[in-house]
Amino acid sequence: QLTPERFAFQLAARARRAHARIVLPEGEDDRILTAAAHLAGRGLVHPIVLGERDAVAGRLAALGLPADGLEIVDPATSPLHEELAAALHRARAHKGMTEAQAAELVRDPTWFGVLLVHTGHADGMVSGAAHTTADTIRPALQVIGTRDGVRTVSSAFLMCLPDRVLVYGDCAVIPQPTPAQLAEIAAGSAATARAFGLDPRVAMLSYSTGASGSGQAVEQVREATGLARALAPDVPIEGPIQYDAASNVRIGSGKLPGSPVAGHATVYVFPDLNTGNTTYKAVQQSSGAVAIGPVLQGLRRPVNDLSRGCTVDDVVNTILATAVQAGEGKDA
Ligand code: ACO
């Protein structure tokens, strides 16, 4: 089992090794600037902060933060504007986007940031402290797109409980996944677990364990389990299974004797977004667990979303997680 302390150490070490340039479009938000200055100061990432140069410098000075190690880029005056507008037009012309529309959209910091990542001027992006999930994710879906062999972008939280770290997916993106999408969520969450140093043992959650219950929702999870095993044959995947049978050794061995997952699951795949989003928040609020994410999985290059209520620690963790994902891409 990976402890939260060991996980935090590994997160920083993996991020440092990645040497990632992470673009932060919300450069006039104090939480973003504080996190960026802290990470640059420790040499963990190279932050590219977007915003009007004087405004960003003014906020840094007011906060008493050093500007060393921060690259400040103003989308309104950047010499990259033409290159990025052309890249956006190439990516979206088939959907009817004109050159003029592309040139206008690139002035928007979120689009500018996504395009820096798309064109390789940055390795990843973190945004969402002042924008909705949809506003942050949609440009990434439209321009960066999915990795080869992946059709569905989904998300996972790295749940740092007092004594262990678990992966929960999908708690942020797909409201009502089909069995095929649920299988992709399972395979993607297993890959995310590996990228962050966890050994994946995947539980496909339901209100039924094994053959104990029936119903359409259970059958969907059963179908998804078969598809997930085909997608990730080297990963132990069990389903349908209830949360207690997945997490508790005594209950798991009683309900599904011999299962390598029952009682030992590290990756929990929820049947739909109502369940996943509610459960991660319930665990976070009632146990004091630190939830890192949502980390998007399946994108060609990493883009991650913050919640508008995020703290500086949340921003720091999300930037580190993005750097780790960027490093993984470089290794591949
Ligand atoms: N995987 C891959 N591609 C996708 C996905 C996906 N999951 N979803 C949409 N796309 C593609 C579409 O095919 C489309 O591609 P195209 O334009 O090239 O044809 C493009 O992305 C944009 O599609 P839209 O239909 O405009 O996007 P949509 O309106 O479906 O928005 C979004 C996608 C924003 C992720 C949506 O699914 C959503 O709002 N999900 C819920 C988000 C949410 O509210 N989460 C809870 C809060 S988060 C939290 O609590 C931490």
Q: How far, in Å, from the CA of 273 to the mean position of ligand 1?
A: 13
pLDDT in tens, 313-326: 999 999 999 999 99
Residue nearest to atom 4 of ligand 1 (CA): 141
How far is residue 190's CA from residue 180's CA, in Å, rounded to a whole number?
15
Domain match, 78 and 202 both: no
Domain match, 136 and 235 both: no
Residue 2 has a pLDDT of: 82
Domain match, 95 and 186 both: no
Domain match, 255 and 330 both: no
Instruction: Evaluate whether 203 touches 260 at the Cβ level (below 8 Å).
Output: no
Domain match, 168 and 95 both: no
pLDDT exceeds 90 at position 330: no
**What is the mean predicted confidence (pLDDT) over 276-289?**
95
The alpha carbon torsion through 285, 288, 292, 297 (nearest 10 deg) reads -60
Q: How far, in Å, from the CA of 139 to the mean position of ligand 1?
A: 9
pLDDT exceeds 50 at position 43: yes
Closest ligand 1 atom number to CA of residue 157: 51
Cβ of 139 below 6 Å from ligand 1:
no
Closest ligand 1 atom number to CA of residue 293: 51
pLDDT in tens, 20-41: 999 999 998 999 999 999 999 9
Residue 213 has a pLDDT of: 76
Domain match, 167 and 272 both: yes
Domain match, 286 and 323 both: no
Domain match, 140 and 7 both: yes
Cβ of 284 below 6 Å from ligand 1:
no
How far is residue 212's CA from residue 208's CA, in Å, rounded to a whole number?
6
The CATH code of the domain that includes 257 is: 3.40.50.10750
Domain match, 189 and 235 both: yes
The pTM of this model reads 0.94
Domain match, 85 and 197 both: no
Domain match, 35 and 69 both: yes
pLDDT exceeds 50 at position 331: no
Q: Which domain holds residue 181?
A: 147-298
Residue nearest to atom 41 of ligand 1 (CA): 173
Q: How far, in Å, from the CA of 251 to the mean position of ligand 1?
A: 37
The domain total for the chain is: 2
The CATH code of the domain that includes 102 is: 3.40.50.10950
* Mutation probe of ligand 1 site: the residue of 141, 151, 182 with most atoms within 8 A of C-beta: 141
pLDDT band at 329 (very low <50, low <70, confident <90, very high): low
Residue 210 has a pLDDT of: 83
Domain match, 109 and 152 both: no
Cβ of 142 below 6 Å from ligand 1:
yes
* Mutation probe of ligand 1 site: the residue of 111, 126, 173, 283 with most atoms within 8 A of C-beta: 173
Cβ of 155 below 6 Å from ligand 1:
no
Residue nearest to atom 25 of ligand 1 (CA): 138
* Mutation probe of ligand 1 site: the residue of 105, 131, 138, 317 with most atoms within 8 A of C-beta: 138
Cβ of 134 below 6 Å from ligand 1:
yes
Q: How far, in Å, from the CA of 159 to the mean position of ligand 1?
A: 23
- As for the ipTM of the complex, it is 0.94
Cβ of 152 below 6 Å from ligand 1:
yes
